[in-house]
Amino acid sequence: MKSGSSLERILESGQFAVTAEAGPPKGSSAKVIQRKGELLKFCCDALNVTDNQTAIVRMSSLGGCLLLKELGVEPVLQMVVRDRNRLALQGDILGAAALGIRNVLCLSGDHQKFGNHPTAKGVYDIDSIQFIQMVKTMRDEHKFLNGEEISGDVPFFIGAAANPFADPFEFRVIRLAKKVNAGADFIQTQGIFDMARFTEWMKMARDKGLHEKTHILAGLIPVKSVGMARYMRNNVAGLSVPLEIVDRMADAKDPKEEGVKICLETIEQLKEVEGVHGIHVMAVAWEDIVPRIVEEAGLMPRPVV
Amino acid sequence: MIVAKRKPFEEIKESVVGAKRILVLGCGTCVAVCLSGGEKDVAILALQLKMALKLENQDVHIDELTIERQCDREFIEQIGTRVNPDDYDVILSMACGAGVQLLSDVFEHKVVLPALNTTFIGVAEKLGVWSERCSGCGDCILGKTAGLCPIARCAKQLLNGPCGGSVNGKCEISKEVDCVWQLIIDRLTRLDRLEMLEEIFPVKDWSPAGHGGPRKMVREDLKL
């Protein structure tokens, strides 16, 4: 075991994993994150705490992770290189290790231009792939980026993001391979609506044997309304929402029900894709729906490891 | 070249309030080429200032002068052969930030103000369009990135790009901005060298990029 986290144990034992996103509040209330933790603890193996997601300032991921951990929920610490240089990243990794956090997701981060502090200076001292490599070296060689020794263990299950829907498509699997080679133990993908493109990407990943070197968790974004579907189709770079999804949401008498249905159909298809080892549900501002989705997808009860 | 853009007129006008004699000083090199701070730009700014200040009934005398380079002491010292610097209480420099600072060094007792915002090291793409190409990071990697710089041209300065926001060749920050990683991949594909990108690009040493403190270059063989 690299980290001993539940997520690692579930994935390493070949079971289908379920993770979800628990975004921290734009404020200091512990209750917001605790409520999400209580809501999702029985239907998920681990919860990702986002890190100033979409470049909007929120409670820190580390703070949120600790609140979840106190509830007995396993957190995934999301960290972006947009806001921290190599010193801060390594310091926070050690702090998280000391607090018993065992999963980390290494990300670039959305550009600060999109957030609520668009005049901020972006850090980008190292990139997400270099970050993965750095955490792996900290864990496996007990060494900082500069080669100095680290005292104590740094047991992390290292995650990375992958977006099969961004361009150039042919390069997406090469970049996935770079992340795996850098040390990504698991991958959480961008939300999947375009199943054709996802299965093509997975085939390319399998051709390179990547599905056996890392655990790919397929991303899902439950859609609440046709407005949300349209917005994602037109405005979110790197998200591919086929017109068919928008039309289904537009024609639905009960859009929320239709959204759940689309999500469940997607999960059924994903279960059949070789190399998909789990799902990651990003129900932004609709966390309440996650227990139902997991239940109706036949993924309950969650394994105890 | 160093590309610069004239500051908003109101800001320039505000900055010279109270001055009685102003020398608008142009620079004949980079900023002249990018049509911001050369002789013509000096004439336009001087005229605008004269008109605006006159409308406000301010009695200000404004002269114009353009020298070859404000980033070179030799040229600055020649100013005295053409005008008397002591005649002015403000020198309004239309050079890049380097020129403004060397003027301040030379004219220790004079107020030197910038009329331009220095923006980037770049190229003229076509008439009226300039774009950034170099960040002056002090350790050129263009040999490894198909001659296209991700430090200057990727919004996240990724060395192992592209990120998940690259769509149809454009950057996630704007549909007007090319994704330089798409360009790098396209070019390496054309050169049949795409395998270069399979290696993980190592962490960059940012100390020559200015993070090691202000930079200086010394050529002992040229020193007098």
CB contacts, 8 Å: B141 with chain A? none
| pLDDT beyond 90 at B98 | yes
* Interface pTM, i.e. ipTM: 0.95
- Same domain, yes or no: B142 and B191: yes
Asked whether the beta carbons of B134 and B2 are under 8 A apart, the reply is: no
* Closest-CA residue of chain A to B163: A108
- Same domain, yes or no: B110 and B151: no
Which of A130, A161, A167 is facing B166, going by the closest CB pair? A167
Instruction: Confirm whether pTM is higher than 0.90.
Output: yes
Span B105-133, mean pLDDT?
97
Burial group, residue A90, by CB count within 10 angstroms (0-12, 13-18, 19+): buried
Instruction: For A25-77, write each residue's pLDDT tens digit.
Output: 999 999 999 999 999 999 999 999 999 999 999 999 999 999 999 999 999 99
CB-based contact A168 B158, cutoff 8 Å:
no
Q: What is the nearest CA distance from A205 to chain B, expressed in angstroms?
A: 14
- Same domain, yes or no: B104 and B158: no
pLDDT score at A237: 85
What domain count does chain B have? 2
pLDDT score at A89: 98
* Closest-CA residue of chain A to B199: A178
- Same domain, yes or no: B25 and B114: yes
pLDDT score at B138: 97
CB contacts, 8 Å: B185 with chain A? 168, 171
Which of B160, B168, B202 is facing A167, going by the closest CB pair? B168
- Look at residues A180, A28, A54, A163 and name the one whose alpha carbon lies nearest to residue A111: A54
CB-based contact A124 B198, cutoff 8 Å:
no
Given B84, B119, B154, the domain boundary residue is: B119
Burial group, residue B3, by CB count within 10 angstroms (0-12, 13-18, 19+): buried
How many interchain CB pairs under 8 A, A with B?
92
CB-based contact B156 A190, cutoff 8 Å:
no
pLDDT score at A249: 97
Identify the CATH number of the domain in which residue B44 sits: 3.40.50.2300
CB-based contact B200 A168, cutoff 8 Å:
no
> What is the extent of the structural domain holding B157?
138-209
pLDDT score at B36: 98
CB contacts, 8 Å: A128 with chain B? 158, 160, 163
pLDDT score at B2: 98
Whether A231 and chain B come into contact, CB under 8 Å, resolves to: no
Q: Where are the alpha helices (DSSP H) in A85-125?
A: 86-98
CB-based contact A124 B182, cutoff 8 Å:
no
- Same domain, yes or no: B71 and B160: no
Question: Per the domain annotation, does B113 fall within a domain?
Answer: yes
Q: Where are the domains of chain A?
A: 6-296
pLDDT along chain A (305 residues), means of 10: 97 98 97 98 98 97 98 98 98 98 97 96 98 98 98 98 96 98 98 98 98 98 97 93 97 97 98 98 96 98 94
CB-based contact A178 B160, cutoff 8 Å:
yes
- Same domain, yes or no: B65 and B151: no
pLDDT score at A251: 97
- Same domain, yes or no: B115 and B31: yes
DSSP A50: P
Question: Per the domain annotation, does B144 fall within a domain?
Answer: yes
Phi, psi (rounded to 5 degrees) for A36: -65, -40
CB-based contact A168 B163, cutoff 8 Å:
no
- Same domain, yes or no: B6 and B46: yes
CB contacts, 8 Å: B162 with chain A? 166-168, 171, 175
- Same domain, yes or no: B107 and B79: yes
Q: What is the nearest CA distance from A99 to chain B, expressed in angstroms?
A: 28
Work out the number of other CB atoms within 10 angstroms of the CB of residue B40. 12
- Same domain, yes or no: B106 and B45: yes
CATH class for the domain made up of A6-296: alpha beta
Given B119, B150, B173, the domain boundary residue is: B119
* Closest-CA residue of chain B to A81: B156
Q: What totals of helices (H) and strands (E) does chain A contain, helices first?
A: 11, 8
Q: What is the nearest CA distance from B76 to chain A, expressed in angstroms?
A: 35
- Same domain, yes or no: B14 and B43: yes
Residue with tokens 């070197």: A213
CB-based contact A122 B167, cutoff 8 Å:
no
Whether A108 and chain B come into contact, CB under 8 Å, resolves to: yes
Question: Per the domain annotation, does B105 fall within a domain?
Answer: yes
Instruction: For B47-92, write each residue's pLDDT tens digit.
Output: 999 999 999 999 999 999 999 999 999 999 999 999 999 999 999 9
Which of B186, B200, B206 is facing A125, going by the closest CB pair? B206
Supply the Cα-derived Rg of chain B in whole angstroms.
Answer: 22
pLDDT confidence band for B182 (50 / 70 / 90): very high
pLDDT score at A146: 98
Asked whether the beta carbons of A126 and A99 are under 8 A apart, the reply is: no
Question: Per the domain annotation, does B127 fall within a domain?
Answer: no
Q: Give the whole-angstrom CA distance, residue B43 versus residue B84.
A: 19
Q: What is the nearest CA distance from A55 to chain B, expressed in angstroms?
A: 12
Question: Per the domain annotation, does B217 fall within a domain?
Answer: no
pLDDT score at B224: 82
- Work out whether strand B170-171 and strand A103-107 pair parallel, antiparallel, or are unpaired: unpaired
CB-based contact B173 A113, cutoff 8 Å:
yes
CB-based contact A161 B164, cutoff 8 Å:
yes
Which of A124, A177, A237 is facing B156, going by the closest CB pair? A124
Q: Identify from B151, B163, B166 which residue to disrupt to test chain A contact, counting A C-beta atoms within 10 A and taking the largest count.
A: B163
CB contacts, 8 Å: B206 with chain A? 125
- Same domain, yes or no: B111 and B151: no
